[in-house]
Structure 1
Amino acid sequence: MFAEAEKVIPGGVNSPVRAFKGVGGTPIFVKEAKGAYLYDEDGNRLIDYINSWGPMILGHAHEPVVNAVIEKAKKGTSFGMPTEIETKIAELAVSMVPNIDKIRFVNSGTEACMSAVRLARGYTGKDKIIKFAGCYHGHSDSFLIQAGSGASTFGTPNSPGVTKGTAKDTLLAQYNNIDNVKALIEANKGKIACIIIEPVAGNMGCIPPKEGFLQGLRTLCDENDMLLIFDEVMTGFRLAKGGAQELYGINADIVCFGKVIGGGLPVGAFAARNEIMNYLAPLGPVYQAGTLSGNPLAMAAGLAMLTELNTNPEVFKRLEDKTAYLHEGIAKVLTENSITHTINRVGSMISVHFDEADVVDFDTAAKGNNDTFKKFFHGMLNAGVYIAPSAFETWFITDALSYEDLDFTIEAVKKVATAL
């Protein structure tokens, strides 16, 4: 199947990390999935720890989501016109997330972050942005400056095709280093529109913010008339009902969403207070549009997903407990087998780094032993557990995982650790 795909699709895949370049071997082709499990075209069952890179927070083929999509599809798949369901999911999202009044739906996390930065530039009248090395905000030109995950897996964090003119307006900061951010602001006084950040990084493995770091960014933005953009494409509706803003008690000016908000269908969104969102067309001068934005199938899936999370908030505690259980089990096994490692975890995001130093930014994430990771990945795959095929990606835990699944996973780690 991969050989056939390579003939008609660049690299045989429609998103680079899927090609297994970072780990070697041939990618898995999925036939179907249910709950916590993937079933590949060879008939193997795999416990899934990427969950479509985050959105399957309640498991694959979750019945309320699937039913909502089926019923909506019977009435038409796309209109390019307003539908009532767009308002319903917007009202629900605004009620769940702190500090937002309005939300605009788009088709991907890339679109959401790209549009948020354009809005910030239009609102402030300034051109430059600050992003952090290793944070990935999609493949828009402004963001492909040390972008983490896929770019790092391929060793090309600065992509050809990004112009020097675009790159000069993106200032690169070090994650978890507030002094570095202060120095950038001082050197570009009055020219910076916004700071964009993954409040919990997920594209250099899972990396939590240090105590006071996000608050420090909030203060710097207030002092320098800049907007703070939280890219919550991964963390939104996953770490808490209100995402990282709720978890850390920090208000961002613009928040970007994706993944969970679409229930597995292609969706992104960005949201802010009225005075910022009213700068957006058709109310204001900042243009953004999309024929498939607010697509009824995606809105139906997202509404079903958010409704369940909103009415069953205990799911977040269950996810955190399961992730902590997995963390403890993996750490015990690796320690007993003298495998050098560091494990980072926030809520239902977790990553294993094969280095003894704390992993707090892109540089420390890059120091992990990639040869060990490759062996670990393939060992886990052979044991029936699918993790991200890159050392620079977080794992995502789903509520569909049972404790038996977690024990199976820990046993798989034991087999691999013994071999290592």
Structure 2
Amino acid sequence: MCFRCCHSLLRKPVNLLYDPYRYRAFLIFYSIDMALFIIRLALVSNDLSANAPTTKDYLIPILIFDLIASVTLIICNSIYIVMRHCVVGLFDIKPSNQFIWRLATMTCFRFDFSIEHPQLILLTRVFLVIGFFLLRFMCFVIGASCSARFKSQCTAYTVFAAFTLANLLIIIVVEFIHYFRLWTYNPTKITNNPMGTKFTNISSAAVIEKTHRCHLRFIHYSMINDQNAPGFGRSLCSKGAECRSESLHHQLIYHSLESSRQVPNIINDNDGKSTVIAFYETTKENMFKIVQNGFPNGDNLPLEQSIFFTPSIKSNLDIDKAILCVRINLGRFEVIDNSPVNLNQYFQGADGLKDTIYVTSESRFYLRMTGQIEKWIVMVSRETKVNDHLENNYYVGCFS
């Protein structure tokens, strides 16, 4: 398997932003790391069996640090291989045990700030690998000191430890690429597709390089809560409807799209919040126009009255549809029970009487100004053809 991965990587220039190539790179370099560990373990065990009391002060710390740094990686990677290729791949079972997935993906340390900002979770894995690199470096330094002092002892170990450090540096680089691939995802790019295929129906314009200042990022549909939660309409966030997070990332990854968790507090004005997270569904073509130029009419000009936002939305979108998850500044808002509503009587004039109208019977927000839309994240529907197809299988379990 490792030989086939090497052949597929070396037969052409490698683009590690292409998900299958990056996964093969992980398999190759982590396999090399395990093989080097076995060799190092044999060498240090052989040196310990000589039972020289003068070198034990060097060899025992080397053995302890190397076991911590290497066995942990091997166990986590082995669990991931079994979970991904056996449990999910062969039996098509979606495991619900969060602890096992977090251990397998080395994202088991979760803090409040990482739940609030899920884009930091994968950095946990990167920092753990860097920590293992530092432990390996300590082993290399101790081994080099032992070799310099006793000549025949630890020399072979130090040589293989140097190769291990070089291999682990490559792994760290690939891990960073793995992180940035997810959070810089752009469905219009063709550089991450080795076939160079461009779907002309995605947009009449060229690849989107420069976006509107309010656009945070695109997010792949496989990342959202409704694709990963153990039950329909359930939220991965332990706080559920009581959650007060205003993070767009947290809303999409840990809460169901069909849950309007913030509306009761807005209507009752329980916490005096001035912002709310809402959704806007539109066509793929309009979405790309918004990503580049913003909502119609631009900042400091009235928003088109045909545009409205909803506190919840169905998770199963039609083909060629897109969702914008937006954070809205409510400003001066009023709750109205029934429709139709004459928005002009509220929005007319230079300043207007109100900035936001919420119609409870239709669960819709109407805004006076486009400047009230602070930030947004875009998700394209599942069956839509895009230039850059992110392989969600390679991130399974990371946000469980």
TM-score surpassing 0.5? no
Which category of TM-score, normalised to the shorter sequence, fits these structures? Answer: under 0.3
The two structures have a TM-score, normalised by structure 2, of: 0.28
More helix by share: 2
Q: Which has the higher contact order (CA 8 A, sep 6+)?
A: 1
